[in-house]
């Protein structure tokens, strides 16, 4: 696991190997985080977010347009050749921390992280087997539209689906389509999909011979999205039902499976960074409150029991930060240790966020239990995110297999 020297120590075939990884934030990451913090402070105040959760449309479309197009979050991972910023997962993770700190009701996770990672993988696969005379692949064309904020995309998998799970088979190919070569009609239903309500296009894994990844218009014929009353209404879920919906292929066979795996891994890693930002904000809010709140003519932060709880929380968050930074660095560098890093980060950051949100509610006392205070937003986001893209327990089980730890004996 990460240590204070900025090096990551991992077991490898019975040995301990020290891998040099810079876990510090770069100047570009700090500048991006500062710009987003200022924007979110002015346009995503807690009172406004609480009010938005009571509306039918909980996603803040105006804020998303600003974040996606003007700041360029939508195209962070997309190469400059396709109109993006050509940045990496490190920058996206730094941005995700700010979105978690504000509990921002925008679909950046589903579009700028998951769907973009899916399309990048599909585009690379198409480029590796194509030629200079062939037209631009569908994935590359979609990436251009994502980069400039023209469209928002979502991967049509259940929010609980984590990396390493089998290729989703909830949707099947029902027949050939009439939209040109390769087009088909899809039938099936996908339950509890994140960030699909504000999406313009959906990337749908479908069972077939072979299995493939398809593109459908979210408002097209045969596509039905049913909003759900979600625990975290700042990231509202929906059920998707497809009834002979026309679809165009994006990737087929092994390329489709690799693309979905890449998207789920990106979702878990970026969500871990979001949870880290949420945990840090909860700690900051709670420390600020216990410095001001007085009982028995003393600040409650001066009580030893409160100090110990907050010190333990700070330690938990610091360790989670190292895990999150390492996961982002591995994805950014294409490190083969990325599956290990992502599993560690998702489990550590989810635990840290949930603990921090619970302590935030408890140590705020009576005000922490009210609807007007934003503490419940953080608790709901922390709990909902803990089961998204794989639970901490599922990631720990995967981690044990990845590092060859023996299974518990009966």
Q: pLDDT category, 408, cuts 50, 70, 90? A: low
Say what the pLDDT of residue 208 is: 79
Amino acid 11: pLDDT? 53
Closest CA to 213 of 185, 170, 264, 251: 251
Task: Yes or no: say if 71 and 35 are a contact pair by the CB < 8 Å rule.
Answer: yes
Which pLDDT score is estimated for 131?
A: 45
C-alpha to C-alpha distance for 31 and 91, rounded to whole angstroms: 10
Please state, for a pLDDT cut of 70, what percent of the chain lies above it: 90
- The whole-number pLDDT of residue 380 equals 97
Q: Residue 291: is its pLDDT beyond 90?
A: no
- Could you count the other beta carbons within 10 Å of the beta carbon of residue 211? 21
Reported confidence tier of residue 181, pLDDT bands at 50, 70, 90? low
What band does 405 get if pLDDT is binned at 50, 70 and 90?
Answer: confident
Query: How much of the chain, in percent, has pLDDT values that exceed 90?
Result: 75
- Three-class secondary structure of residue 242 per DSSP: strand
How many residues does this entry show for the chain? 410
User: Hey, how many other C-beta atoms are within 10 angstroms of the C-beta on 90?
Assistant: 23
- Sorted by where each starts, the structural domains of the chain and their CATH numbers stand as 27-108+128-147 (1.10.540.10), 153-257 (2.40.110.10), 267-402 (1.20.140.10)
- Tell me the C-alpha distance between 116 and 118, whole Å: 5
Q: How far apart are CA 281 and CA 274, in angstroms?
A: 11
31-39: average pLDDT: 97
Of 255 and 182, which is predicted with more confidence? 255
Residue with tokens 């992280």: 113
pLDDT of residue 296: 72
Of 65-79, 122-136, 160-174, 364-378, the least confident: 122-136
Which pLDDT score is estimated for 302? 67
Cα(392)–Cα(356) distance, rounded to whole angstroms? 16
CA within 13 Å, CB half, 259? 31
pLDDT > 70? residue 249? yes
pLDDT of 132: 43
């Amino acid at each position: 696991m990460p240590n204070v020297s900025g090096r990551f120590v991992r077991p490898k075939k019975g040995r301990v190997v020290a891998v040099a990884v810079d876990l510090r934030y770069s100047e570009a990451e700090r500048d991006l985080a500062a710009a987003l913090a200022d924007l979110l402070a002015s346009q995503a105040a807690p009172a406004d977010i609480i009010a938005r959760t009571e509306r039918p449309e909980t996603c803040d479309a105006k804020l998303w347009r600003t974040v996606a197009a003007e700041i360029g979050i939508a195209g962070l991972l997309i190469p400059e050749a396709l109109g993006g910023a050509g940045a990496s997962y490190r920058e996206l993770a730094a941005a995700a921390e700010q979105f978690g700190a504000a509990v921002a009701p925008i679909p950046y996770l589903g579009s700028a992280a998951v769907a973009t990672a899916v399309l990048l993988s599909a585009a690379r696969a198409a480029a590796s087997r194509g030629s200079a005379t062939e037209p631009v692949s569908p994935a590359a064309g979609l990436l251009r539209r994502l980069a400039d904020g023209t469209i928002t995309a979502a991967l049509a998998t259940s929010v609980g689906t984590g990396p390493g799970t089998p290729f989703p088979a909830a949707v099947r190919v029902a027949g050939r389509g009439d939209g040109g070569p390769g087009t088909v009609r899809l039938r099936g239903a996908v339950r509890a999909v994140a960030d699909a309500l504000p999406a313009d296009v959906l990337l749908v894994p479908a069972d077939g011979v072979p299995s493939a990844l398809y593109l459908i218009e979210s408002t097209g014929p045969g596509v039905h999205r049913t909003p759900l009353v979600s625990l975290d209404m700042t990231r509202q879920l929906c059920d998707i039902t497809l009834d002979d919906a026309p679809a165009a292929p994006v990737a087929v066979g092994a390329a489709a499976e690799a693309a979905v795996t890449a998207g789920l891994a990106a979702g878990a890693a970026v969500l871990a960074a979001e949870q880290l930002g949420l945990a840090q904000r909860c700690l900051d809010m709670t420390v600020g409150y216990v410095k001001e709140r007085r009982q028995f003519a003393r600040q409650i932060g001066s009580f030893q029991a409160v100090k110990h709880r907050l010190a333990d929380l700070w330690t938990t968050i610091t360790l989670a930060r190292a895990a999150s930074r390492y996961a982002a660095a591995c994805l950014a560098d294409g490190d083969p240790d990325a599956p290990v890093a992502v599993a560690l980060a998702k489990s550590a950051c989810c635990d840290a966020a949930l603990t921090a949100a619970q302590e935030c509610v408890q140590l705020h006392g009576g005000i922490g239990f009210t609807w007007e205070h934003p503490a419940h937003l953080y608790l709901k986001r922390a709990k909902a995110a803990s089961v998204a893209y794989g639970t901490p327990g599922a990631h720990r089980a995967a981690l044990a297999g990845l590092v060859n730890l023996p299974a518990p004996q009966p």
